[in-house]
Amino acid sequence: MSGARARPEGKPSMDIVYPVTDATLTLADGSVFVVHRGQHWTTTDRVVQEKPDAFSDDPRYGLAFSTPPAEMADPPVEQATAAPGEKRSMRRG
């Protein structure tokens, strides 16, 4: 997961991701974390590392609004198949 880029003043940039929904996540060591849509998490955080499917680098998940703009009313949908001419990497394991 690459993440969006954030650069605090005078600091090196960091990759950030956003929870895709409000959730309670339990890590392998039994630690429990509550995440909320709209929060920003660094991609190096252990919660993100252990639960990558709970996060997205799509900035629409990081926005706050009272009424979603039309183009953001639906959550982003990942394309399941490759477009014509597009090559996809394949991971087996």
Global confidence as pTM:
0.63
Q: What is the pLDDT of residues 27-80, one digit of tens each?
A: 999 999 999 988 999 999 999 999 999 999 988 888 877 887 777 666 666 666
Per-residue pLDDT, 85? 66
Per-residue pLDDT, 36? 94
Per-residue pLDDT, 70? 77
Residue 41: closest CA among 61, 27, 26, 24: 61
* Distances, alpha carbon 3 to alpha carbons 16, 30, 48, 85, in Å: 5, 26, 11, 26
